[in-house]
Amino acid sequence: MKNFPRLLGFKRGPLHICSVLFMILNFLLQGESSNFSENFGILWGKDQFKLSNDGQTAHLTLDRASGSGFSSRNEYLFGSFNMRIKLIAGNSAGIVTAYYLSSATSAHDEIDFEFLGNLPRKGYHLQTNVFATGVGNREQRIRLWFDPSADFHNYSIVWNQNQIVFSVDSVPIRVFKNNEGVGVPYLKNQPMKIISTLWNGEDWATDGGRVKVDWSKAPFVASYQAFEVDGCVASASSESCTGHWWDQSLFSGLSRDQLKKLRWVKRKYMFYDYCKDKSGRFSTPPPECAINP
């Protein structure tokens, strides 16, 4: 199962081929090689942040003094957001590498990838979550089907009016649908920045907080590439963020092939889903649980 085709693997006729070509063209026109500084800046921990000379690879370090983080210069309302990340190798227990979109508002919207470090050979756990107008509690956790510290992999979010798709190397691992129809708030009014941070989360990240950071292994380093951004930049003067490629009907749902991959992930790698939490966390599961794929 390691050899899923690149890109999105659409198989349904000429419209889909056109769209894929369009995406490729889009990608090429945008320039494959935006350097870090064009779209991003350091958020905190500047002594723990390093950029390669060509500006194409960023390294975040966690040591006893601090972690580090960076964020996009712009805020975006909808789009396709990809980051290539190579996680901390070896003992990463207690450490959280977060890659997310977030609005800096009080009732905030947020779309999260959180990589929860682990003891050697136990494997990272990838937690995803969605906050809509300040309410989260929508955690899912999966194991990855490869070692995310051995090489860079693509972690992406395609966010439009209809759905938010989280993917790992083009394999969808989660879909959050627009379920306003059943009263679930959707993320569509608050522009968000792209943020990544590396920090000590030993209180909760590994085995429920039982496994702590082993500082004798510090410094811990996570690396990033692919700083181009294909999103609608939100600013007061801009016209509304509609009419982009991600607004095409093709992207309002998953293709059959994507759905198949999503089911494969859920069946083989998902070990926690808030929708199926039997611990009594929710007296009734949230309404979207009956509807999401």
Ligand X SMILES: *[C@@H]1O[C@H](CO)[C@@H](O)[C@H](O)[C@H]1NC(C)=O
- Contact residues: ligand X, CB under 6 A: 6, 35, 37-38, 54-55, 153-154, 169
- Choose the catalytic residue: 75, 114, 202, 288: 114
Name which of 6 and 267 has its Cβ closer to ligand X: 6
Name which of 58 and 234 has its Cβ closer to ligand X: 58
CB of 7 to ligand X, least distance (A): 7
Catalytic-residue membership of 288? no
CB of 71 to ligand X, least distance (A): 17
- Choose the catalytic residue: 38, 75, 110, 288: 110
Name which of 169 and 247 has its Cβ closer to ligand X: 169
CB of 34 to ligand X, least distance (A): 7
Greatest distance between any 2 Cα atoms in the chain: 56
Catalytic-residue membership of 114? yes
CB of 172 to ligand X, least distance (A): 13
CA pair distance 282, 280, nearest whole angstrom? 5
Name which of 157 and 184 has its Cβ closer to ligand X: 157
Q: Which residue is nearest to ligand X (CB)?
A: 55
CA pair distance 45, 237, nearest whole angstrom? 33
Which residues have a catalytic role annotated?
110, 114
